Amino acid sequence: MEANYTVSIVDKKKSRLKRGILKEMYRLGSRTLAQLAKALHASVPSVTMLIDELATEHWVQEIGTGAAQYGRKPALFGLRPGNQAIVVVDISVHDVKLVVFDLTNRVLDRLDVNLRLEDSVAFLESLKGPLEEISHRIREHNLNIIGVGCALPGLVDPRTGINYTYKKLNRPEQSLQQLLAHCFDSPVYLINDTKATILGEHRFGLAKGKNHVLSINIDWGVGLGVINNGEILQGLAGFAGELGHIQLQADGELCSCGKVGCLDTLTSASSLVRRVKAGLREGRVSKLAEENFEDIDVELVIDKAKAGDELAIDLLNEVGGELGKGLSIAVHLFNPELIIVNGVVAKAERLITRPIEQAIDKYCLADFRNKLVITVSRLGEMAKLYGTQAYVVQSLLEHEEIP
């Protein structure tokens, strides 16, 4: 009995160290045995034995040699792409993206679907076809799906997978989570889209190595991701960062949440398009008046602004000013070193970051602003996809689903 107990303890320690190795390689890329031993507080011989086991199990491989000041160059080990893969489902109010990644973040397959998120059973029914298509392609390539991540807007509790905004996606007989689990026969993890975006920035983008960062996601709504002391702020139920629903205008427009004057009503992509159309109805002069009224979308507004259209520039300036005003509250609360602008409106680049900067200069205490950098994401839409992939890997390791 005592011998079995001892073996169990040893196996658990080995499994923990193996997961630690995979986590280090996923976060940092190729590593030497000495680097892994230092990070895991283990001996080099122990790590060598575990690397051999992981290589036999097709999780890692030797990928070259590292630098050495003297003597023999050390071997470098990294994750083996192999056939292990993760499916990322990116759901938004304008489309759905189904992306298959290997463990080195390489995209193996991708299917973009013209399907808009709705709080309805019909949405789940419409999603089944594309899921079956990508599942068929996965089988054709002999890929082994080890996990599925789904990023979507709304109040998402990552522990339960319940979306409190889109409640019909949680129906007991077949929820979104159950649909994905059935389709790919793998663990499924749901995450709020803004949380996924800042996780992607923290692991692979401009926030890498930084401890105090805000990521403002300006899409059809407005969300805020917060890195505080090097950790992503979740809150009690994972809802932290709903900046879009702070009130900026007591007598403003009715928001989709039922409140009045939310930041969303002033600064989201949908509000920008509404403002443009209202301006055109009022007779404002703009190149946008030459377009089909129903075809005017945020990308077209941004394109016209970059081409010098006065109405488009004015309204982007107004949106940026209101965003900066709202962000000034977060700046005073979290004292960030960096603000990253993400989402579809980020494509406006300086046309949106400049008025944000000016508003923060206006509404923030100078000492908060002195070392603050505001910039557009370099990852673009990939920040959310990478972040969802990272969340799946992190969750699988934490729940001992792999190796």
Indicate whether 70 pLDDT > 90: no
Helices (H), 309-370: 310-334, 350-363, 366-369
According to the model, what pLDDT value does residue 173 have? Answer: 83
- Radius of gyration of the CA atoms of the chain, in A: 24
Provide DSSP, 307-326.
TT-HHHHHHHHHHHHHHHHH
pLDDT (average), residues 17-40: 93
Measure the CA–CA gap between 351 and 340, rounded to whole angstroms: 15
Which pLDDT band holds residue 67 (cuts at 50, 70, 90)?
Answer: confident
Is-above-0.85 flag for pTM?
yes
Query: Which letter, b or e, does each residue of 259-268 get, where b requires 16 or more Cβ atoms within 10 Å of its Cβ?
Result: eebbbbbbbb
Indicate whether 13 pLDDT > 90: no
Strand-pair partners of 97 = 90, 112
Nearest 5°: CA angle at 115, between 111 and 121? 120
> What torsion do the CA atoms of 90, 91, 96, 100 make, to the nearest 10 degrees?
20
* 8 A C-beta contact, residue 385 and residue 97: yes
* 8 A C-beta contact, residue 210 and residue 201: no
Neighbour-count burial of 188, counting CB atoms closer than 10 A to its CB (0-12 exposed, 13-18 middle, 19+ buried) = buried
Average pLDDT, the chain: 93
328 token code pair? 């000034």
The DSSP H or E segment spanning 386 is helix 382-398
The per-residue pLDDT for range 252-284, each reduced to its tens digit, is: 999 989 999 999 999 999 999 999 999 999 999
Least confident range of 25-39, 61-75, 283-297: 61-75
Measure the CA–CA gap between 204 and 226, rounded to whole angstroms: 16
Domains of the chain plus CATH, in order, are: 9-79 (1.10.10.10), 84-193+384-398 (3.30.420.40), 206-378 (3.30.420.40)
According to the model, what pLDDT value does residue 355 have? Answer: 97
The per-residue pLDDT for range 92-131, each reduced to its tens digit, is: 998 999 999 999 999 999 999 999 999 999 999 999 999 9
Give the rounded percent of residues in the chain with a pLDDT score beyond 70: 98
According to the model, what pLDDT value does residue 69 have? Answer: 66
Neighbour-count burial of 165, counting CB atoms closer than 10 A to its CB (0-12 exposed, 13-18 middle, 19+ buried) = middle
According to the model, what pLDDT value does residue 172 have? Answer: 85
The per-residue pLDDT for range 324-378, each reduced to its tens digit, is: 999 999 999 999 999 999 999 999 999 999 999 999 999 999 999 999 999 999 9
According to the model, what pLDDT value does residue 167 have? Answer: 95
According to the model, what pLDDT value does residue 401 have? Answer: 76
Indicate whether 226 pLDDT > 90: yes
Indicate whether 7 pLDDT > 60: no
Which pLDDT band holds residue 402 (cuts at 50, 70, 90)?
Answer: confident
pLDDT (average), residues 172-191: 94
